[in-house]
Structure 1
Amino acid sequence: MKIIANREIKYLFYAIVGVVGSFCLLTEIGVWFLSRNLRALILIFILFLLLLLMVLGLCYRYFSRQNRMLENAVDQINAFLDGDIDARIACDEEGEIYRLFHSVNTLAAVLSAQASNENREKEFLKNTISNISHQLKTPLAALNIYNGLMQEEVKCISDIQEFASLSEKELDRMETLVQNLLKITKLDAGSIVFEKRMENVEELMKDVELHFAYRAKQDRKTLTFTGDDSLMLYCDRDWMMEAIDNIVKNALDHIKEGDFVHIEWRQFSSLIQIQIKDNGCGIHPEDLHHIFKRFYRSRFSKDIQGLGLGLPLAKAIIEEHNGTIEVDSALGEGTIFIINFLIPTKL
């Protein structure tokens, strides 16, 4: 019998037998000295024996039930350790042992959540490494081709200059990928301290215009800005510029010659809104819910230069400023990105 194998339970049974037996013996001695009645002694002995058997029976039944509960708990724990993350111990009643079971179930739930998170992180890391490898493969292959051509076939200075220029573009592409990866990684790790202060939005937009004016002119695309010249935004200037630059760059990448990108900012009662609108080809409805995912590449997009990091980085920066970003688009009509920042209030 398993319950008797438990030393403490065994000692309890011994104690019960000893107490009942001692009380029976003392009672027998007392009755004998008082009455000298043998039949009474036998009757008292039988009654004490029945009492002892009943007490031992009840104890055995109770400890047997407790033993079954513990064995079931051990089975569930072993099942959890063997990989069944849904294994739990039944703990629907009250009592100290059920509190223990509940704590074990809570621990199992926490461990399951951590294991699930670790699996998602491993999968994310695997996909990220795969995407980085894919993104680096194209410029590296191009660089190898250009280098081989310059070494073996190209003799004209103008051709060498052309391939050197192409190589520089591929190197810039790789540098952009690495820099954006570092920025996103720092944001994920929470290692960036934003130096926020009140900034004039129009001055921010002037820097954006300065950044993209030459490119827009070269590509024959129009870049326009409108908004309140006194509007102030509480932000980290450099990081906010990074976010807006990425969105504007994305817009310029997806419009053709003669199209426009228009940036507008305004204040409402409780928020500041920045809109970046273009009249380009638009975003396919299938892609609208995925454009902020890292390395996402649409099967409908003809863009082969995009890295899939600009918009996710912009979104992360905006959210670090307690802002939100939304996108609305129609195929053939254009796209609008709407950025909202709540205005801090003093209560």
Structure 2
Amino acid sequence: MLRNHEIRLVLLSMSTISLIMLIAAAFVSLAAVVLVLITSISLIGCSLLFTRVRYHEIEKLSGYLRRISGGDYSLDVRDNREGEISILKNTIYKVTVMLSEQSALLHKDKVHLTDAISDISHQLKAPLTSMMVMADLLDDPQLPGTKRAEFTRNIRIQLERLDWLVSSLLKLSKIDAGTVQFKKDQVRVAKLIEKALQPVLIPIDIKEQTISITGEDNVSFLGDLNWTTEAIINVLKNGVEHTQVGGTIAISFSENPLFTEISIQDNGKGISKEEIPSIFKRFYKGKGAGEGSSGIGLSLAHSIITKQNGDIDVQSEVDKGSQFRIRFYKRIV
């Protein structure tokens, strides 16, 4: 304690004042000298005792902070008494709780990252393994031309799948990191649907499916045309994939004072009640998912829509089809 420069300075000041008072008291009487001496010793002693108690409390707090730095967040030093030490204890406790919460979130993020990396590795492994096998077969000079063309086409399909998968994962990671700046333009839904249909027209034609579109030309919402197109494309792809040959996909949109709604309905396989809560989860594949499904499309659509003050839900019955309803709210709800 006496190694503290400030305490030595206080003691020196008090001792100097006491000495001056003793000299002054000597000119009065011996009794005054004794009284001043006793008072000075008492005051200096009380000051030292008080300082020692404070030092002891600070030492305890230092030990507490050392334990916190070691990862022990279970300690509780809250003190409801008055005084700056009590205020300091309560403040340290609040910081400890905050650090504990942050530590839990970091652990959760690490687990999530580990699971995501595992899922991504699994998604990439299948097409890569398939391409490696076909590339080895292509090395055979005796391979028939028809098989060579088939393997080459399959490799191209797998490469396209990989390209889409990596692109979607990159988009998801940007959205999760909050680096995507969504525009707030007035988007006409008719133009949005027209743009989103372009990539799926060929699959629709191959499966001889029928598309119907219902809605007024002036229906619009505030959002980002390009990113919302990406979301709608993924919902449409899901509908085309799970709708049988000759099936129908009905798109309708409307607007009211609260929100703009887009409905995409098909008469395909449908989704079981048990699966509905999970279909927007990343890498989730339903029981009826195709072999090339990655479980990314609907998750990406959900992220894009919710980041633009919207929501998406689904109503479905097995063998009767599914209806995806997308709403963009005009005010934050």
> Does TM, scored on the shorter chain, surpass 0.5?
yes
In 1, Cα distance between equivalents of 2:115 and 2:65 = 33
Q: Which residue of 2 aligns with 1:281?
A: 269
Structure 1, unmatched stretches of 5+, are 32-40
* Range that drifts further, 103-112 or 268-277: 103-112
2:51 aligned with 1:60, yes or no?
no
The residue aligned with 1:340 is 327
- The aligned counterpart of 1:311 is 298
Match of 2:127 in 1: 139
Q: Does residue 148 of the first structure (1) align with residue 146 of the second (2)?
A: no
Greater Rg by CA: 1
Distance 2:319 2:42 in 1: 89
- 1:35 maps to what in 2? none
Query: Are 1:213 and 2:201 matched, yes or no?
Result: yes
Distance 1:59 1:344, change over 3 A: closer
CA distance in 1, matches of 2:270, 2:90: 54
Given the superposition, is the C-alpha separation of residues 154 and 178 from structure 1 closer, same or farther in structure 2, using an over 3 Å criterion? farther
SS in 2 for 1:136: helix
Alpha-carbon deviation of 1:275?
A: 1.2
Q: 1:283 to 1:61 in 2, by over 3 A?
A: farther
Pairwise CA RMSD? 3.0
Report the alpha carbon displacement of residue 91 of structure 1 after superposing the two structures with TM: 4.8
Amino acid at match of 1:243: A
The aligned residue for residue 65 of structure 2 is: 77
* Letter aligned with residue 340 of structure 1: R
Q: 2:143 aligns to what SS in structure 1?
A: coil
Q: Secondary structure at the match of 1:338?
A: strand
Task: Say which of 202, 213, 219 aligns to 1:231.
Answer: 219
Match of 2:27 in 1: 29
Aligned residues of 2:197 and 2:233 also touching (Cα < 8 A): no
Secondary structure at 1:152's aligned position in 2? coil
1:168 aligns with 2:166: no
Deviates more, 1:93-102 or 1:200-209: 93-102
Query: Any conservation in 1 of the 2:262–2:327 contact (CA below 8 Å)?
Result: yes
Displacement of 1:79 in angstroms is 0.7
Query: Partners of 1:316 and 1:155 in 2: how far apart?
Result: 46
Equivalent pair of 2:25/2:36 in contact (CA under 8 Å): no
Q: Are 2:196 and 2:230, in contact at CA under 8 Å, matched by a contact in 1?
A: no
Alignment correspondent of 2:311: 324
Cα deviation per residue 1:142-187 (whole Å; 9 max; x = unaligned)? 1122222333386332222222222222111101101112222333
Q: Secondary structure at the match of 1:171?
A: helix
- Relative to structure 1, the CA distance from residue 336 to residue 119 in structure 2 (aligned partners, 3 Å threshold; closer, same or farther) is same
1:249 to 227, 237, 249: 237
SS of residue paired to 2:139 = helix
1:66-124 C-alpha deviation (Å, 9 max, x unpaired): 12220121011001111113446435344444455555455545554554444444333
CA distance in 1, matches of 2:187, 2:324: 21
SS at match of 1:340: strand
Cα distance in 1 for partners of 2:182, 2:8 equals 67
Shifted more, 332-341 versus 153-162: the winner is: 153-162
Comparing 6-15 with 178-187, which one deviates more in the overlay?
Answer: 6-15
Letter in 1 for 2:175: L
CA-to-partner distance for each residue in 1:124-144, whole Å, 9 max, x for gaps? 333222222111110011112
Task: State the alpha-carbon separation in 1 of the partners of residues 267 and 76 from structure 2.
Answer: 57
Taking the TM superposition and a 5 Å limit, the aligned residue runs for 1:288-303 are: 288-298=276-286, 300-303=287-290
Unaligned runs of 5+ in 2: none
Q: In structure 1, what is the Cα distance between the partners aligned to 2:257 and 2:10?
A: 76
> SS of the counterpart of 1:185?
helix
TM-aligned CA distance change 1:178 to 1:19, over 3 Å:
same
Q: How many percent identity over aligned positions?
A: 28
Tell me how far apart the structure 1 counterparts of residues 317 and 62 of structure 2 sit (CA, whole Å). 59
Q: How many pairs does the alignment contain?
A: 332
Deviation at 1:196, TM superposition (A): 4.7
**Cα distance between partner residues in 1 of 2:160 and 2:137:** 20
Q: Which moved more, 1:229-238 or 1:172-181?
A: 229-238
How far apart, CA to CA, are the structure 1 residues paired with 2:94 and 2:322?
47
Q: Distance in 1 between matches of 2:261 and 2:251?
A: 11
